[in-house]
Amino acid sequence: MTDWIFATIDRLGPAGVGLLIALETVIPPIPSELILPLAGFRARAGAMHPLLVWLAATLGALAGALVLYWLGARLGYERLHRLAGKRWFVLASQRDLERGHRLFARHGSWVVAVSRCVPVLRSLVPAGRTAGPLEW
């Protein structure tokens, strides 16, 4: 994966950074902890403009978050709950969703703030909304 990330950034420049960050937001195994330092090193070396790298990374993160937000809003909690019951999600069961709902009901804003700093959690927790899933 590392070689693919390096090649994408070298081939596409700042646009590649934005694309990879958008994918990282939607697909958690892609590590932004690898993408952003590499982009910074490339910008420092003069291979890319630092402002364009920053803009591309920001727009990529926003695009990825909007995709996830749209998907969550489109599916809704009830449909997501049914899909989890049919084992569509390997790592999440209906019980996990119910536990998440209770956690959001108690600590919504804090869960969002803290999870944005944890690599896999940032793709699972909606950044734009702190209401519980049933209220979406």
Q: 51: Cβ–Cβ under 8 A, 6 or more apart, which residues? A: none
Contact 84, 94 (CB under 8 A): yes
Contact 21, 32 (CB under 8 A): yes
Give the predicted TM-score (pTM) of the model: 0.74
Domain borders along the chain are: 2-60, 75-135
Tens digit of each residue's pLDDT, the chain (136 residues):
788 888 999 999 999 999 999 998 888 778 888 899 999 999 999 999 999 999 999 999 999 888 888 887 888 888 888 888 887 666 678 888 888 888 888 887 788 788 877 776 766 666 544 444 444 4
